[in-house]
Chain A
Amino acid sequence: MCNQAVGLAAAELERRGISTVTIQLLREAAEKVRPPRSLFVPFRHGYPLDKPDDADRQHEIIDAALRLLEDDSLKPPALVDFVE
């Protein structure tokens, strides 16, 4: 449900002129809900940035998400896999 909820919130933000990027943990939900711009990560629920207490690892995932905002080739709905 979390994946749907952040997608719905992202849509509301985009409607109001705020660019968004959403982390997604469940591909089935992402494909059906269709958030505007998402990074799919292959981590278990509860661990969207992979590892607790590992700032470098968390930054890797956040940076991959932020790069989607800079990619002007993407079209909505954009669902991009996180690549190690």
Chain B
Amino acid sequence: MGDMSEFSMTVRLFLKAYPWKKIDPVPWTPLSKPLEECRLALVSSAGFVPPGQEPFADDVTGGDPSFRAVPSDVDVSTLEEYHRSESFDHSGLLGDPNLAFPIDRVRELADRGRIGSVNHRYLSFMGSVTAPRRFMRETAPAAVEWLVEDEVDIALLVPV
């Protein structure tokens, strides 16, 4: 588990030849204060959309690069999943969105005092973006700007 062996031969060959985007140089922001004082935001690539927002599109060549802001007080059972990949089992996520968007878990961490607080909104996107140019240059910087404006200190990012 956690390696190529779980995928079909077609997917394995695609991934083997895929030109991964190498982050270089690697940016680094050390923790500036104790976790107990930090405001946390979640970022999930599982394609979850809260009620009233537009679904992720499944017909965009290279993958839909857009983001959704998800209120941190959302009832996770109301989230809809729009991840387009057929390479993994979606049933766990559908039964418990916390599995890839642990909204209830980080709320519990704030209640216990392990982190200072949770931000009022999180970021959700659909991670099956094979052509990430627009994601890197436009949509991710714009979404990150929301968290900068919110004075978020730390982020936990969860793929699917």
Contacts and interface: CB of A to CB of B under 8 A. Distances in A.
A70 B90 CA distance: 32
A17 B115 CA distance: 18
A45 B86 CA distance: 11
Interface residues of A, number: 61
Contact of B35 (A2, A25, A69): A69
B14 to A, nearest CB: 10
A14 B105 contact: no
Interface in A10-35: 10-29, 32-35
Contacts of A29: 15, 20
Given A18-B155, A49-B99, A4 B90 contact: no
B98 A49 contact: yes
B158 A6 contact: yes
A9 B145 CA distance: 12
Nearest to A55: B105
A78 to B, nearest CB: 9
27 contacts: A2-B45, A4-B21, A5-B45, A5-B125, A8-B21, A8-B136, A9-B123, A10-B155, A10-B157, A14-B29, A15-B27, A16-B144, A18-B41, A20-B29, A23-B158, A28-B4, A29-B20, A33-B22, A36-B28, A44-B88, A45-B160, A46-B160, A48-B159, A59-B105, A62-B102, A62-B106, A62-B156
Closest 7 CB pairs of A and B: A2-B127, A2-B159, A52-B96, A45-B88, A46-B88, A14-B27, A32-B20
Interface of A: 1-29, 32-37, 40-49, 51-53, 55, 58-59, 62-63, 65-66, 69-70, 72, 75-77
